[in-house]
């Protein structure tokens, strides 16, 4: 599949005078901001599709209906329950992306036999090839999915179809077991009814599978590396308000800001605590927690570790977890959130009853240790939690009835009955949900299109046109009501090999110099900490330097480690430190240099002059 050029491949992102903390990556303050340099964007001109091999990508799914996108994504997981619900909600089992990759292609790549068996029930076209001529059997053979190769051959998948490179599925085997399966199948057909589907269905192949490990897979522990903040605003109430406003508008930038500005200790539990405070938009919390960013995965586990899950059942655990956020209107995001809830629930019940914890009462459902024994694994618990939310949506938002047998069939495995969930457990859940709606389980937009207002929360603010800029409010929304100085500035970070300039909206407040794309931007793109920074007037520009000059006489040399430091905020909740020898601020003709110098200099009680 195509690739996106990294920042290292883009010359306009390189600047010899600005480097990160470890000195490896050089960034320019202006070109690093997305609308100027387009760092990390997907370059449509260099997309070269050769062999998707069952892989799907956001750009190949974008023209599909929401439910069809969900269908292809869940085909690549082991979440059979979610796949069945998506099909019940109206997804097409024959859908494919722009590379002609079908759900069966995707399932053959991921290797879930239960998902493949479920898809085979819908009688897919087994000879359907993608843009590279690969059938699902090609994908399974290439990925060494011997069990799935056997399933496909028994179902009648053509073994003699060649891809665009002239390769048969058997030519693509990378392991001995899969190669032996093809050889056995060919020998069986040649010795009996040549090529008939009945003969294929009667064929069997056995091989020595690796013995399964009886122990449970370890629960996830995401890796997190803390960063030293650029400032220490932890005790400033105004900074907390600013961080809250930024998060509510664009959650990723908000998380990046509270970390870089020192509003929280830079570890996941402290950041998650910030999301519980008053004033935080619960809808924004749910939307950000459901994203695929690595920061979101870490925050999800930390966020729900604060919940009191001991002794709860499936429904009561969902109600308990729902206190600090609202469900997003996206099934994939909900799946990620319920996974974090299930992991925390499971961890809580493995560690034993906390001191002082009491078993909750109220709902007649299987709870606590009994639920853990009946359900078997944290993954099965997550699947059941997601199914409960889908059942509630089906009954009360879509207003369709569902009897117990239909609900039970959605939870059944296609592979074996040894891990089946007890009927009593399922029946109690079904009765509770069917009795009356539960506000904490409501997800009104689960099967519809995503809200436009939420879609922009992770987007990048675009640079306004000159006509728009003249009519926009002269104050950024996250600083409304706070004393600040704001205006358009021509930003330059001059270096040895050139001078990169750009026009940004600057705001001075809280001891920070914020940079955004416009005065109406929902969040800042970067900020510079003014502590220890000395501003001076150089005739046409204000010069920001870390080292100071006195009475107009400059020091002979600045310390090698004395840089003006800035934080580049990113929509995934991370931030990047940039260091500069100096920053030049070019004022507009109507601006008063003394006013800007006073604001910039007063932040650290340093001298400034014209």
Top CATH class of 7-39+462-602 equals mainly beta
Domain extents for the chain?
7-39+462-602, 58-202, 281-452
Please state which CATH class domain 281-452 belongs to. mainly alpha
pLDDT on residue 384: 96
Question: How far separated are the first and last CA of the chain, in Å rounded?
Answer: 56
The predicted structure's pLDDT at residue 220: 61
Domains 7-39+462-602 and 58-202 share a fold: no
What local confidence, expressed as pLDDT, does residue 449 receive?
A: 42
pLDDT number for residue 153:
94
- State how far the Cα of 427 lies from the Cα of 225, in Å rounded to an integer: 45
Structure confidence at residue 27 (pLDDT): 38
Instruction: Give the ranges where 128-175 is alpha helix by DSSP (H).
Output: 136-142, 146-155
Over residues 61-83, the pLDDT tens digits come to 999 999 999 999 999 999 999 99
**Residue 240 pLDDT exceeds 80:** yes
For position 51, what pLDDT does the model report? 80
Strands (E), 46-181: none
% residues pLDDT > 90 (the chain)? 56
The pLDDT assigned to 109 comes to 95
- Select the highest-mean-pLDDT range: 151-160, 572-581, 584-593: 151-160
In the chain, % of residues over pLDDT 70: 76
Task: Count CB-CB contacts under 10 A for residue 78.
Answer: 17
Angle at Cα 525 formed by Cα 460 and Cα 333, nearest 5°? 45
Q: Please name every residue paired with 550 in a beta bridge, in sequence order, or none if there are none.
A: 553
What distance in Å separates the CA atoms of residue 548 and residue 544, rounded to the nearest whole number? 9
Say how far apart CA 511 and CA 506 lie, in whole Å. Answer: 13
Report which DSSP code applies to 498. Answer: B
pTM attached to this predicted model: 0.83
Angle of helix 251-260 relative to helix 237-249, nearest 10 degrees, comes to 150
E-assigned strand segments in 510-587 = 512-516, 526-529, 534-537, 541-545, 564-569, 575-580, 582-586
CATH fold of the domain at 58-202:
1.25.40
Average pLDDT of the residues of the chain: 81
Which pLDDT value is given to residue 417?
A: 57
Residues forming beta bridges with residue 492, ordered by sequence position: 501, 584
């Amino acid at each position: 599949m195509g690739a996106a050029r990294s920042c290292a491949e883009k010359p306009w992102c390189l600047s010899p005078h600005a480097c990160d903390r470890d000195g490896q990556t050089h960034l320019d303050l202006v070109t690093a901001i997305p609308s100027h340099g387009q760092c990390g964007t997907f370059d449509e001109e260099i997309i070269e599709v050769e062999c998707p091999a069952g892989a799907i990508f956001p750009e190949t799914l974008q023209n599909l209906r929401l439910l069809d996108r969900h269908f292809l994504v869940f085909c690549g997981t082991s979440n059979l329950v979610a796949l069945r619900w998506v099909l019940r909600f109206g997804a097409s089992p024959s859908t494919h992306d722009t590379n002609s990759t079908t759900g069966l292609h995707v399932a053959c790549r991921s290797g879930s036999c239960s998902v493949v068996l479920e898809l085979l029930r819908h009688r897919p076209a087994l000879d359907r090839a993608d843009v590279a001529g690969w059938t699902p059997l090609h994908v399974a053979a290439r990925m060494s999915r011997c069990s799935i190769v056997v399933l496909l051959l028994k179902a009648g998948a053509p073994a003699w179809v060649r891809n665009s490179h002239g390769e048969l599925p058997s030519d693509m085997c990378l392991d001995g077991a899969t190669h032996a399966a093809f050889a056995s199948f060919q020998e069986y057909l040649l010795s009996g009814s040549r090529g008939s589907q009945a003969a294929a269905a009667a064929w069997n192949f056995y091989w020595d599978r690796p013995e399964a490990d009886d122990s449970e897979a370890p629960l996830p522990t995401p890796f997190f590396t803390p960063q030293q903040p650029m400032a220490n605003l932890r005790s400033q109430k105004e900074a907390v308000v600013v961080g809250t406003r930024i998060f509510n508008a664009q959650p990723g930038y908000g998380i990046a800001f509270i970390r870089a500005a020192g509003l929280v200790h830079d570890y996941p539990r402290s950041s998650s605590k910030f999301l519980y405070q008053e004033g935080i938009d619960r809808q924004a919390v749910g939307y950000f927690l459901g994203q695929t960013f690595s920061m979101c995965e870490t925050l999800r586990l930390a966020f729900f570790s604060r919940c009191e899950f001991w002794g709860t059942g499936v429904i009561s655990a969902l109600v308990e977890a729902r206190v600090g956020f609202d469900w997003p209107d996206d099934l994939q995001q909900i799946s990620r959130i319920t996974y974090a809830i299930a992991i925390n629930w499971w961890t809580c019940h493995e560690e034993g009853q906390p001191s002082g914890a009491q078993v909750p009462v109220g709902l007649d459902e299987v709870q606590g240790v009994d639920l853990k024994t009946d359900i078997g694994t944290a993954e099965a618990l997550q699947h059941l939690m997601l199914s409960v939310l889908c059942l509630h949506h089906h009954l009360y938002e879509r207003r369709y009835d569902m009897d117990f047998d239909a609900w039970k069939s959605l939870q059944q495995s296609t592979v074996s009955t040894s891990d089946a969930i007890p009927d009593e457990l399922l029946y109690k859940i079904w009765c509770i949900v069917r009795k009356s709606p539960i506000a904490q389980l409501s997800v009104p937009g689960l099967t519809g299109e995503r809200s436009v207002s939420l879609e922009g929360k992770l987007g990048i603010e675009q640079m306004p046109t000159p006509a728009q800029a003249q009519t926009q409010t002269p104050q950024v929304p996250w600083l409304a009501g706070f004393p600040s100085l704001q205006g358009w500035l021509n930003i330059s970070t001059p270096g040895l090999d050139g001078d990169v300039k750009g026009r940004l909206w600057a705001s001075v407040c809280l001891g920070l110099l914020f940079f955004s794309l416009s005065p109406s931007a929902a969040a800042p793109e970067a900020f510079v900490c003014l502590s220890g920074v000395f501003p001076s007037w150089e005739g046409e520009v204000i010069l920001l330097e870390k080292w100071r000059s006195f009475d107009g006489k400059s020091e002979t040399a600045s310390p090698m480690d004395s840089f003006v430091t800035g934080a580049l905020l990113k929509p995934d909740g991370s931030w990047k430190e940039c260091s500069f020898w100096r920053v030049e601020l070019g004022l507009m003709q109507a601006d008063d240099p003394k006013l800007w110098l006073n604001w910039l200099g007063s932040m650290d009680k340093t001298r400034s002059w014209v």
